[in-house]
């Protein structure tokens, strides 16, 4: 992207939102189903409750962030609908019909005459489904009459006295809808009720005073919950007390000894029991005991029972049979079952399943652990006891069960040899001039001198079980058929020839002998030659794999030394299709395989330089499209195996990969091993559903991950991580953590057995430094937050060292930088020192060394006048820091003292800084967008060369190059600015041009360069010039790719066509969703295309796809269906 060219960005989801904001339970998919419906910001997942757990039914995205979601049932209907209100005040009612989400009604509830309330939006549905009440603006109540049959939702507006509403809900009253409001009047908190009269026309509504009103309720009351009939009262939940109110009764129960934090959520179990959760993860049961025979003051009694500590809850949903979903925005969500008695750990519930949540992502870095071009993303995620480091990789992991040192293995095969075995029990390993046998009994592996019927004095080329409980062994000299521990039949090549290649299925054998292909069949106890054919070149590789599982093959594939491949009929060996691969590197392995639910056939061909061709076959087995990918640098061996994804291929090479299909697209997923020479499927009693793999030095037995696009590993921290980095030179990670010391003191006596589960990782470090013990005489003893720098091993993440910062000192940022003249790397940490003032006036820059002997030392500190918000390495041996309103450059002298130079103070608050490879500096102001600086080392000065004069409240920045910059701001927008270097006027050159605007719908906290896909050279129809990953509060990871303008222009036109075909759920407009909108201005989306929308092209029927691309052109020619399908396929492979 050149200066002034404009934004050419493509934004697509790499990891979906994972933080749970809402959850409800209802009969949504059918009257017989019980569904858990989970909202994750703008995404909704529908699950079915079954006896074995939750089963996903469907998921969909909204063009809006969800503010309220409620489940309700229209009168005289048998299943439920969903009411959704978005943060942009758009309302819709959704229904599930024949496997699809249908918009039953929709409407825009915005009113230009009002500003959205700062105390938040509230909406609730009457239990009798007569109306919906919306409180979007202070002093205004909107009522939607559900008796209307119109598809367009309209509301009746009523003014109310209750201005600052804290919470509201409908009471369970049969006469008329009655709304309860908890509100504040700046001096105290009150509860009032409003009765609603609905117009028979289905559109109007009026309000009147309700049945009761209570003034001066507890000031800390934050939630109200309606109690069903016959009580039909209301619960008021506060920090200290829970109170029950109705028109006649009032009862209060203290929860001060149970709840340490604010109650966040409540779910009813039945009419008399409620499950409550606080912001510390404590769960307790609230019991309502009502007895008409007691005196009026004691008819209602409230009691509580402590259940234990779980994840930090944002929502609770009781499903059935004491199973509860605990949804969290700050940690993993969880499915639990409430137990009558505790489980010997003080917990009265059992965890059934945990659901990974990456949110909120505060920082992240990309690391290539294996140095194979496979980036892995490490995120600083979660809050408090939900804090963690997450390792996200796009690939397949092998979890090692056992390893045996073995050199020189040329092949291996698993056998079910013993008649008493129900699974495989032996491994046969081939070496030059010999074969050895391993017996597997449980998890024990022992060598067997010989297996009757098999020869061990030759190198085996193939061994395996075939039909009728027989075995086949192929060597260079012989094909051997074995049964009943003896040789039953054999086949040998002519004198002075030998078998070079072979391929086998259940009853078919294909041999390569020089330039001759020989086809054999196994009939009863005989090996019968059926046909042979001499090709016009030496045979390089053969395959006789059937395309359908457990079937014989009607054809085979062959690769020749003349660099051609062909598909041939059996038994005639007639050529069906032939292709020249090009070049002069011979094919080394061929394989036919069917991928995906549609069993689409592909021919895979690997050649000697590590490249692989994948060629789609037509119905007549002729060749269709051919694509090339560079997997490794050495010859690749292709092996077929079965997974939950169907038929899958393992590519053995110096960069092993798994080839699989997702949504009818072929993907190449890196395997977390540096070298695999040979593999076979292994399914024994001790190692079920495993793989056996060999490299140059060892035999490995392991279990393969479920094949999916992204895998996430979790390192529990039990503290909030603010920043994370990889210190490659020392092979460690470092993170800045924070925990509340009060949480450790507040552990309940019955929680001692689970205390370690919630102990911060920094406290578990074997070595500590800094202010480990707090001084009670310190003036900041009321400050209970503890900040740390923790060093962890890069592979195991075992904590090695923790440095504890001073009391009241917040560690906010860090980087790896070379300082001084010795070219030594240091960990530089920026801090803020709080002293109860509104603006932080002091901070520190701390320089740490971490030695080869694994010792962390504080080398240098520098007091500064303000909080250090960001720090980056500059010019090889300096650092640049954002300190309150200043940018400052520091260097370290021979006495390890940090010396400052080049201060520049032209920010309100400088919150972030980034540095390009050429030394240009990008800074973000809290309120005034971004600025670009140059550093002049000779003068020791910073000079502002350009700035964006539009107001933006910044959250993250990243430099694309010296002239183009990405910014993210707090209204969930991103933008691109370009330096106008070619402008003739100096004033114009000092203004950054906004060339891209986009509403991503995510609060972006961090942007890093890189991607998660394997770095392979693919013959792609579209290639980005740069790629970036964005991490957000919701756990969303987005890919932002920069394309050449010509390619991007086509994507923009395709997006416009797709917008007309794909209608948003709830009838919400895509164009308005992607419009850049903040408190100060609104801009139409430009310079960006929505990759999520474009990639929906693959979900369309072929006829619809052709309709979409009509009138589109590529390179001046009409776009063809095949070209666009291939382009979208290539886009999908970017993430």
Q: Please name the residue that has the structure tokens 């949804």.
A: 327
Q: Who's near 547: CB < 8 A, 6+ residues apart?
A: 553, 592, 593, 594, 599, 601
* Domain regions of the chain by residue span: 1-17+906-1134, 20-108, 398-407+495-707
Mean pLDDT by 10 residues, the chain (1135 residues): 60 94 95 95 95 91 95 93 94 94 93 84 93 93 88 90 92 88 88 89 82 84 89 86 81 78 90 90 89 77 88 94 95 91 74 93 88 80 94 82 88 87 88 89 84 87 87 91 86 91 91 94 88 93 84 89 92 91 91 84 90 86 80 88 80 88 77 86 89 90 76 90 94 94 66 69 91 60 82 92 91 92 90 76 92 92 93 90 92 88 86 92 93 88 91 95 94 94 83 93 95 66 88 96 91 93 91 92 93 91 89 86 84 83
Long-range Cβ contacts of 980-985 (<8 Å, 24+ apart): 980/3, 980/4, 980/946, 981/3, 981/4, 982/3, 982/4
End-to-end CA distance of the chain: 21
**How far is 1078 from 974, CA to CA, in rounded Å?**
11
CA distance 171 to 234: 7
Rounded CA separation 218/805 (Å): 39
Can you give the length of the chain in residues?
1135
The interaxial angle of helices 1045-1061 and 1102-1109, nearest 10 deg, is 120
Please give the distance of CA 577 from its chain centroid, rounded to a whole number: 42
Q: Is 454 helix (H, G, I), strand (E, B) or coil?
A: coil
pTM as predicted: 0.85
User: C-alpha angle with apex 572: 571 to 578, nearest 5 degrees?
Assistant: 110
pLDDT of residue 655: 85
Can you tell me whether residue 1127 is helix, strand or coil? helix
1125 in Cβ contact with 1105 (< 8 Å): yes
| CA distance to 210, 418, 436, 438, 548, per residue, from 412 (Å) | 80, 18, 10, 10, 24
pLDDT at 836: 62
Planar angle of CA 424, 425, 430, nearest 5 degrees: 95
pLDDT digit string, tens, across residues 994-1004 = 999 999 999 99
Q: What is the pLDDT of residue 1023?
A: 81
What DSSP string runs through 39-98?
A: EETTEEEEEEEETTEEEEEEEEE-SS-EEEEEEE--TT-SS-EEEEEETTSEEEEEEEET
C-alpha to C-alpha distances, 231 to 285, 300, 638, 801, 809, nearest whole angstrom:
19, 10, 69, 58, 52
Instruction: Please report the pLDDT score of residue 552 as a whole number.
Output: 85
Consecutive H or E run containing 282: strand 282-290
**Can 20-108 and 398-407+495-707 be said to share one CATH topology?**
no
Four-way CATH pick for 398-407+495-707: 2.130.10.10, 3.40.50.300, 2.40.50.140, 3.40.50.2300? 2.130.10.10
Where in 98-188 does DSSP place strands (E)?
A: 100-108, 122-125, 131-137, 140-145, 156-159, 164-170, 178-184
Question: Check: CATH 2.40.10 for 20-108?
Answer: yes
Nearest-5° angle of CA 260, CA 266, CA 271? 125
Residue carrying the six token digits 């609908």: 81
773-828: pLDDT as tens digits = 765 545 445 568 899 999 999 888 999 999 999 888 999 999 999 998 888 899 99
pLDDT at res. 277: 92
Say what the pLDDT of residue 641 is. 86
> Tell me, what DSSP letter sits at residue 398?
E
pLDDT digits (tens, 9 = 90+) for 572-621: 999 998 999 888 899 999 999 888 777 888 899 999 888 889 888 888 77
Dihedrals phi, psi of 743, to nearest 5 degrees: -60, -35
């Amino acid at each position: 992207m050149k200066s002034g060219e404009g934004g050419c960005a493509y934004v697509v989801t790499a990891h979906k939102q994972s933080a749970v904001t809402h959850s409800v339970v209802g009969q949504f998919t059918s009257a017989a189903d019980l569904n858990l419906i989970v909202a994750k910001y703008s995404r909704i997942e529908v699950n079915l409750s079954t006896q074995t757990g939750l089963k996903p039914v469907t998921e969909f995205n909204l063009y809006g962030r969800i503010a309220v979601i409620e489940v309700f049932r229209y009168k005289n209907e048998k299943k439920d609908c969903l009411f959704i209100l978005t943060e942009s005040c758009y309302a819709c009612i959704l229904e599930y019909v024949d496997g699809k989400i249908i918009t039953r009604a929709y409407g825009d509830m915005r009113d230009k005459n009002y500003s959205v309330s700062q105390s938040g939006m509230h909406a609730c549905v009457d239990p009798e489904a007569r109306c919906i009440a919306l409180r979007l603006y202070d002093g205004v109540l909107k009522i939607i009459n559900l008796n209307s049959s119109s598809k367009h939702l309209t509301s009746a507006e009523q003014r109310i006295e209750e201005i600052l509403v804290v919470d509201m809900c409908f009471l369970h009253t049969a006469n008329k809808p009655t709304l309860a409001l908890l509100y504040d009047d700046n001096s105290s908190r009150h509860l009032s009720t409003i009765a609603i009269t609905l117009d028979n026309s289905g559109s109007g509504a009026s309000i009147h005073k309700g049945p009761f009103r209570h003034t001066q309720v507890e000031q800390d009351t934050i939630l109200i919950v309606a109690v069903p009939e016959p009580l039909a009262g209301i619960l008021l939940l506060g920090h200290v007390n829970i109170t029950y109110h109705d028109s006649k009764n009032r009862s209060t129960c203290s929860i001060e000894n149970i709840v340490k934090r604010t109650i966040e959520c409540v779910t009813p179990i039945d009419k008399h029991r409620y499950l409550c959760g606080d912001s510390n993860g404590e769960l307790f049961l609230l019991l309502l005991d009502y007895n008409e025979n007691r005196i009026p003051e004691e008819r209602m009694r409230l009691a509580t029972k402590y259940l234990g500590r779980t994840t930090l809850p944002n929502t609770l949903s009781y499903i059935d049979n004491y199973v509860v979903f605990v949804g969290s925005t700050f940690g993993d969500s969880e499915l639990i079952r409430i137990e009558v008695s505790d489980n010997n750990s003080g917990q009265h519930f059992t965890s059934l399943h945990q659901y990974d949540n990456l949110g909120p992502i505060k920082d992240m870095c990309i690391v290539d652990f294996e140095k194979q071009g496979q980036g892995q993303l490490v995120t600083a995620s979660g809050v408090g006891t939900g804090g963690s480091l997450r390792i996200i990789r796009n690939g397949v992991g092998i979890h090692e069960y056992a390893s045996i040192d073995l050199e020189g293995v040329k092949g291996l095969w698993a056998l079910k040899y013993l008649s008493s075995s129900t699974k495989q029990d032996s491994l046969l390993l081939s070496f030059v001039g010999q074969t050895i046998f391993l017996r597997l009994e449980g998890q024990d592996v022992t060598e067997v001198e010989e297996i009757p019927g098999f020869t061990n004095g030759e190198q085996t080329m193939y061994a395996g079980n075939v039909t009728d409980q027989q075995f086949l062994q192929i060597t260079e000299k012989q094909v051997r058929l074995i049964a009943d521990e003896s040789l039953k039949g054999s086949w040998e090549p002519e004198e002075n020839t030998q078998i070079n290649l072979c391929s086998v299925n259940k009853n078919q054998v294909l041999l390569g002998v020089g330039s001759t292909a020989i086809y054999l069949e196994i009939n009863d106890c005989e090996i019968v030659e059926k046909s042979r054919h001499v090709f016009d070149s030496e045979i390089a590789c053969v395959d006789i794999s059937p395309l359908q599982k457990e079937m014989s093959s009607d054809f085979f594939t062959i690769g020749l030394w003349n660099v051609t491949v062909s598909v041939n009929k059996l038994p005639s060996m007639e050529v069906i299709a032939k292709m020249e691969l090009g070049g002069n590197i011979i094919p080394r392995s061929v394989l036919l395989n069917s991928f995906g639910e549609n069993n689409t056939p592909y021919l895979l061909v690997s050649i000697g330089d590590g490249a692989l061709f994948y060629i789609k076959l037509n119905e007549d087995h002729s060749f269709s499209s051919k694509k090339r990918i560079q997997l490794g640098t050495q010859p690749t061996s292709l092996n077929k195996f079965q997974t939950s994804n169907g038929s899958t291929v393992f590519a053995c090479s110096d960069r092993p990969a798994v080839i699989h299909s997702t949504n009818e697209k072929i993907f190449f997923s890196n395997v977390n091993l540096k070298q695999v020479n040979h593999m076979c499927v292994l399914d024994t009693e001790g190692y079920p559903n495993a793989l056996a793999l060999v490299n140059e030095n060892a035999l490995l037995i392991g279990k393969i991950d479920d094949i999916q696009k992204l895998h996430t590993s979790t390192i529990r921290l039990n503290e909030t991580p603010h920043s994370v980095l990889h210190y490659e030179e020392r092979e460690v990670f470092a993170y800045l953590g924070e925990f509340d010391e009060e949480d450790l003191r507040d552990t309940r006596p019955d929680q001692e057995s689970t205390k370690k589960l919630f102990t911060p990782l920094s406290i578990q470090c074997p070595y500590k430094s800094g202010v480990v013990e707090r001084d009670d005489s310190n003036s900041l003893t009321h400050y209970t937050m503890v900040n740390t720098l923790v060093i962890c091993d890069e592979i195991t993440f075992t904590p090695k060292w923790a440095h504890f910062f001073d009391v009241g000192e917040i560690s906010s940022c860090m980087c790896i930088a070379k300082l001084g003249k010795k070219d030594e790397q240091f960990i530089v940490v920026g801090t803020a020192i709080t002293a109860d003032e509104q603006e932080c006036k002091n901070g520190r820059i701390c320089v740490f060394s971490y030695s080869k002997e694994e010792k962390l030392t504080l080398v240098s500190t520098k007091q500064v006048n303000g909080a250090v918000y960001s720090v980056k390495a500059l010019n090889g041996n300096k650092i640049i820091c954002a300190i309150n309103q200043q940018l400052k450059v520091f260097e370290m002298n021979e006495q390890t003292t940090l010396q400052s130079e080049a201060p520049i103070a032209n920010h309100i608050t400088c919150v972030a800084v980034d540095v390009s490879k050429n030394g240009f500096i990008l800074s973000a102001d809290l309120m005034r967008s971004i600025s670009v600086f140059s550093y002049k080392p000779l003068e020791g000065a910073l000079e502002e060369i350009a700035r964006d004069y539009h107001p933006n409240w910044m959250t993250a920045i990243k430099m694309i190059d010296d002239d183009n910059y990405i910014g993210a701001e707090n209204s969930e927008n991103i933008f691109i600015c370009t330096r106008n270097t070619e402008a003739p006027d100096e004033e114009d050159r000092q203004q950054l041009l906004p060339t891209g605007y986009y509403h991503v719908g995510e609060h972006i906290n961090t942007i890093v360069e890189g991607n998660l896909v394997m770095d392979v050279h693919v013959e792609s129809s579209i290639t980005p010039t740069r790629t970036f990953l964005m991490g957000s509060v919701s756990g969303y990871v987005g890919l932002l790719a920069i394309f050449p303008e010509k390619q991007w222009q086509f994507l923009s036109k395709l997006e416009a066509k797709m917008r007309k075909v794909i209608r948003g759920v709830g009838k919400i407009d895509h164009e308005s969703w992607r419009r850049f909108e903040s408190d100060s201005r609104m801009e139409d989306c430009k310079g960006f295309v929505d990759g999520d929308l474009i990639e929906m092209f693959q979900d369309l029927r072929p006829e619809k796809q052709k309709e979409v691309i009509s009138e589109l052109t590529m390179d001046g020619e009409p776009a063809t269906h095949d070209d666009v399908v291939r382009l979208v396929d290539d886009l999908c492979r970017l993430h």
